Amino acid sequence: MQLPLGEFELIQRFFKTGSEAMLSSDDQSIMLGIGDDCALLKPNPGEEIAITSDMLVEGRHFFADANPEWLGRKALAVNLSDLAAMGARPLGFTLSIALPQVNSNWLEAFSKGLFALAQEYSCPLIGGDTTAGPLNICIAAFGSIPHGKAIKRSGAIAGDEIWVSGSVGDARLTLAALRHELSLSSTDLQAIEIHMHQPTPRIDLGMHLRGIATAALDISDGLLGDLKHILKQSKVDAQIFLDHLPKSATLQQQSEAVQNQFAACGGDDYEICFTASPDKRSVISDISKKLRLAITHIGNIKTMQFSEPIIQLLDKNGKELSATETANLLKSFDHFA
Amino acid sequence: MQLPLGEFELIQRFFKTGSEAMLSSDDQSIMLGIGDDCALLKPNPGEEIAITSDMLVEGRHFFADANPEWLGRKALAVNLSDLAAMGARPLGFTLSIALPQVNSNWLEAFSKGLFALAQEYSCPLIGGDTTAGPLNICIAAFGSIPHGKAIKRSGAIAGDEIWVSGSVGDARLTLAALRHELSLSSTDLQAIEIHMHQPTPRIDLGMHLRGIATAALDISDGLLGDLKHILKQSKVDAQIFLDHLPKSATLQQQSEAVQNQFAACGGDDYEICFTASPDKRSVISDISKKLRLAITHIGNIKTMQFSEPIIQLLDKNGKELSATETANLLKSFDHFA
């Protein structure tokens, strides 16, 4: 059903109401939300504001017939995941959205998924823009973090251990099944598809890793491809034990090649990859228990040997993969590839 | 010319370089720019962060063959205009952009226009996203403002005077000429088209209006349509003298109907409309002289008479327009109309 709503009425109906319900709660940081030229954010003394922005495009980041409730949730989740990777606490977000038409059913479902996740993380919608155009969802999210406590990509040093949260590869496995690149039983698909459609931003983990992790990022484009950003900015090499990569039971039923490819290079996982000194092992184990979240040691940071960082991949026998095998695995997801 | 650049190389080449050149200058508020999961902003003690986001879509906000240098400049300008309307000082911005292809000539021109304006207002690019997709430019801009000094839409009171900066209607007149709704000589078009293609964000004016204006906004959708937002949020009525609206010499050559329609309701002007107590007249006159910017008294705020605010329009003889004439003029630009 399509309604001839004007832009302001549209914003009011689906977004402002959900936003106001949250703002009326308790957050003292939001001085002014939707409805003025700008939103106003008042950080606590001694806190920095972490800012991230992701743009989701139909046919590129989601299918044209994507479940709008899942999509609303995911559009915010991928941004909160960036806040998590810095160790930030969510404060609020803006939503700018281009819509091909005003479809109230779609908007209702989309905003339901969006606000459900926003509620979970006390992260209200504070502004944005709405326009006609090919479907495009652009969210900017804001978080707070005590001064100097942000976990950057540049802090890894030789001797650090490399860790990853949750499991990796299920989002890619889901995509492969939906694209008929391989076949999965409907039971198997149901068991893993949540990782692609409704990823969990690891906000609690990120906040616990302040002062523990030396570097961190979230895995959106594939573990190894993203890890390279840490290596480049920290000017270090890495050694990864492929058989240590945490994989779901469903992924473990696939061939070893598929397991390695999807776990090491599958995009859309939104787990946190971080580095930490070996003396943090027990603290990390405690965090894992407290959050009931697997955190797995998958490799080590090494001194950089050449002008560009390298990732040494070890198979289950401890044998290093050849350059060709490595290059083949490293062909990571690129939005322009 | 199209180059097979990867996403990261693309960001690096056109955006990160321009960003780093600016960050290396002096701003202590930007703790971390492009290249991590988030940017980090450290507000000065006692300051709030103003946040705004605008999305520009091809065919809706600009023509497919728009000059990319102008477009880059305008995409940032419309966001800075929102900061100006709150009285905020620009701190930085994120750019999320969907591109149908990687065209290095287009990107070079776009980033040239973008960074030229960013330099003018010391507002560095601090993050964002790049993806393939129908051309869509989404900028979020951040400004700082002393606590409690933001100029909101809700502060106008009966007795206030209504002012507007610069002149209004030239962007609409340019659009009319480009759409062949009317004809303009090329000399006339050249004299006014800058208002549509390269609007000036009134940042200096906004900062000078802190503590002076009771309410303010920037005119993006048309003076009267935007003024209604102030009236609604302030719960007041307005009286506007149509012949007081500041118009360029070129617009004044048009019929009275066109003059009124374009000045009162033409979009894309990005001037500031604000309200202030009559005892601020001389201060406003001083600001106008200091900034070499016309600031014109165009009407007055009145006590609200009904449940919805009304705008009383007076013609050059002081006669009020009929309801039909008013409704006809008030048909403001709506992105979903």
Question: In the numeric block, which tokens belong to residue B212?
Answer: 């002076």
For chain B, how are helix, strand and coil distributed in percent, rounded to 5?
40, 25, 35
A6 vs B contacts (CB less than 8 Å):
334, 336-337
Inter-chain touch A35–B153, beta carbons under 8 Å: yes
**One domain, residues A192 and A321:** yes
Decide if pLDDT at B102 tops 90: no
> Could you report the per-residue pLDDT of A129-145, keeping only the tens digit for each?
988 899 999 999 999 99
pLDDT at B187: 95
Q: Is residue B1 part of a domain?
A: no
Instruction: Provide the phi-psi class of A218: left if phi over 0, else alpha when psi is between -120 and 50, else beta.
Output: beta
**One domain, residues B265 and B316:** yes
**One domain, residues A70 and A203:** no
Q: Which of A114, A146, A178 marks a domain boundary?
A: A146
**One domain, residues B63 and B91:** yes
Confidence band of A335 (pLDDT split at 50, 70, 90):
very low
Q: Which of A116, A146, A176 marks a domain boundary?
A: A146
pLDDT at B4: 46
Q: Is residue B205 part of a domain?
A: yes
State which residues form the domain around B66. Answer: 7-146
Inter-chain touch A136–B133, beta carbons under 8 Å: yes
**One domain, residues A142 and A271:** no
pTM metric for this prediction: 0.91
Q: Is residue A336 part of a domain?
A: no
**One domain, residues A204 and A243:** yes
pLDDT at A329: 75
> Could you report the per-residue pLDDT of A259-306, keeping only the tens digit for each?
999 999 998 999 999 999 999 999 999 999 999 999 999 999 999 999
Interface probe, candidates B63, B91, B138, chain A, greatest A C-beta count within 10 A: B138
Decide if pLDDT at A4 tops 80: no
Distance CA A246, CA A240 (A): 12
- Min Cα distance B186 → chain A (Å) is 31
Residue A97's closest chain B neighbor by CA? B55
Under 8 Å between Cβ of B333 and B228: no
- Min Cα distance A53 → chain B (Å) is 5
Distance CA B27, CA B92 (A): 10
Decide if pLDDT at A26 tops 80: no
**One domain, residues A234 and A171:** yes
CATH number at residue A41: 3.30.1330.10
Distance CA B20, CA B298 (A): 43
pLDDT over 70 percentage in chain B? 92
- Min Cα distance A318 → chain B (Å) is 32
**One domain, residues B219 and B264:** yes
The total of structural domains in chain B comes to 2
Q: Is residue B173 part of a domain?
A: yes
> Sheet holding A215-218: strands in order across?
A215-218, A272-276, A161-165, A295-303, A236-241, A311-314
Distance CA B160, CA B158 (A): 6
Q: Is residue A155 part of a domain?
A: no
Q: Which of A9-23, A72-86, B109-123, B152-166 has the lowest mean pLDDT?
A: A9-23
Q: Is residue A100 part of a domain?
A: yes
A88 vs B contacts (CB less than 8 Å):
38
pLDDT at B22: 73
> Could you report the per-residue pLDDT of B293-335, keeping only the tens digit for each?
999 999 999 999 999 999 999 998 999 998 888 877 766 444 4
Distance CA B61, CA B57 (A): 6
Q: Is residue B337 part of a domain?
A: no
Q: Which of A93, A112, A146 marks a domain boundary?
A: A146
Interface probe, candidates A16, A51, A95, A139, chain B, greatest B C-beta count within 10 A: A51
> Could you report the per-residue pLDDT of A85-94, keeping only the tens digit for each?
999 999 999 9
**One domain, residues B185 and B297:** yes
| A62: number of Cβ within 10 Å | 20
pLDDT at A257: 87
**One domain, residues A109 and A201:** no
Distance CA A192, CA B251 (A): 62
Distance CA B16, CA A129 (A): 25
Nearest Cβ partner of B51 from A126, A145, A150? A126
B152 vs A contacts (CB less than 8 Å):
32, 36
> Sheet holding A47-57: strands in order across?
A125-132, A89-99, A136-146, A47-57, B39-41, B30-32
Inter-chain touch A40–B50, beta carbons under 8 Å: yes
**One domain, residues B123 and B264:** no
CATH number at residue B251: 3.90.650.10
> Could you report the per-residue pLDDT of A237-249, keeping only the tens digit for each?
999 999 999 999 9
Inter-chain touch A132–B32, beta carbons under 8 Å: no
- pLDDT higher for A330 or B237? B237
Mean pLDDT estimate for chain B: 90
**One domain, residues B85 and B127:** yes
Q: Is residue B61 part of a domain?
A: yes
Q: Which of B5-9, B30-34, B318-322 has the lowest mean pLDDT?
A: B5-9
> Could you report the per-residue pLDDT of B239-266, keeping only the tens digit for each?
999 999 999 999 999 998 899 999 999 9
Distance CA A311, CA A309 (A): 7
pLDDT at B33: 73
B216 vs A contacts (CB less than 8 Å):
37
